[in-house]
Homo-oligomer: A and B are copies of this chain.
Amino acid sequence: MTDDSAPARPGLSRRGLLGLAGAGVVGAGIGFGIDRVVTPEAGAVSGAAASYPFYGEHQSGIVTAAQDRLHFAAFDVSDITASELEELLADWTYAANRMTTGLGAGKYGPASGPYDSPPDDTGEALDLPPSGLTITFGFGPSLFDDRFGLAGKRPDALVDLPHFPGDALVDTLVGGDLCIQACSDDPQVAVHAIRNLSRIAFGRASLRWSQLGFGRTSSTTRAQATPRNLFGFKDGTANLRAEDAETAKDVWVQPGDGASWMTGGSYLVSRKIRMTIETWDRTSLREQERVVGRTKGEGAPLSGGTEFSEPDFDATGRADAPLIDTASHVRLAHPSMNDGAALLRRGYNFVDGNDDLGRLNAGLFFICFQRDPRAQFVPIQLQLAKNDAMNEYLRHVGSGIFAVPPGATADRPIGAGLFD
């Protein structure tokens, strides 16, 4: 499965050419030391032709400038052996590398190859450029049970998430042995990636849950404008940014952190958070801004200034009340309230139709990356779950935690370190 040099075939040529053209634009996520997060060009890469290399020291799709659309999938591994699992990861690596350059998932492509066999690519992305596609793989805690002999490899940082106050998790939206995050500026390209990777996994792993996200809610580089979530507020203002030197130590697992196969990797936590937007839409502008702790238009902290001004949590107004409410989301999520802990947020807005009561089933598919969830997501979410005024309008229904191994190379597929 290492034949990356498939001959140009009729069905592939157009997409192949686009892929090669796009590959000239080098993106984020590779070729930098563990203490430098990203090249300054990262923010400049965008548009349909953008292409991020799949191989590299770190996986892409983490500090990569957040693309516009998401397809995320969690898988259960079937009753297979450890070496079959290793093979699946090698097959996924091969296909993922091809697809991120704009090629089909297999060497023939969707419209050529043996006429009496199923095509090795499904075809819906045939005419589409890579559109900034990144494919990021992760391993859930359940992969480290006794099925594959991997118990000894489980990193301490890959904790089972505790029950948080207010959690309303739905079993079918939780967990997974494996996950794949596909991000692209074209949703058809992201869907094509997940669909082909599940097809390749047939008989070896099957979809447990999956999520489409239509709008990014975070900027991960300074060049990106801050997008808005479905509460109508800017989201991502105070996010960790790829350009900032300190970001590296908050995102990447460092040598000595334990589980050496994870060095250069990261931990992904996902939360499917239903937002009761109908209730939110009937609260006053005053209440909405109090809950968030920032203005709705500009996104400035309620203590004053503009979007990127530091919030001043000590500033008080009338009757000595703090300008940024003590129960506001921004105050409670801020590093100063959490022993300096910070997260790289990389979530997406979702709408999954509507419920029986005629309310849009809408919310935020929250994704964050970090070096150690025990020191980052868990304490921050405990703080928020207990005290955040926003909880009145939220319900956490899905959850996942995944160890995201370091990047693959042409010789070492994703997760090779598990089998050394």
Interface residues of A (CB under 8 A from B): 10-11, 69, 71, 73, 76, 110-119, 121-127, 172, 187-188, 191, 194-195, 198-199, 202, 206-212, 214-215, 225, 227-233, 277-278, 281-286, 288, 295-298, 349, 351-354, 356-360, 362
Contacting pair A225 B281 (CB below 8 A): no
- B residues less than 8 Å from A122 (CB atoms): 230, 232, 277, 281
Residue of B nearest to A286 (CB): B115
State the oligomeric state as a number of copies: 2
In the bound assembly, the distance between CA atoms of A359 and B358 in angstroms comes to: 26
A175 to chain B, nearest CB (A): 14
Partner of A191, one of B112, B125, B231, B351: B351
> What are 11 A-B pairs with beta-carbon distances under 8 A?
A111-B297, A118-B283, A124-B230, A126-B297, A127-B228, A194-B360, A198-B360, A202-B278, A206-B357, A212-B214, A352-B353
Contacting pair B358 A207 (CB below 8 A): yes
Partner of A351, one of B71, B112, B209: B71
Partner of A215, one of B113, B188, B282, B296: B188
Contacting pair A210 B110 (CB below 8 A): no
A3 to chain B, nearest CB (A): 20
Contacting pair A111 B296 (CB below 8 A): yes
In the bound assembly, the distance between CA atoms of A208 and B230 in angstroms comes to: 21
- B residues less than 8 Å from A202 (CB atoms): 278
- B residues less than 8 Å from A208 (CB atoms): 358
Closest 5 CB pairs of A and B: A123-B232, A111-B297, A206-B358, A187-B214, A11-B297
In the bound assembly, the distance between CA atoms of A301 and B268 in angstroms comes to: 47
- B residues less than 8 Å from A110 (CB atoms): 232, 296-297
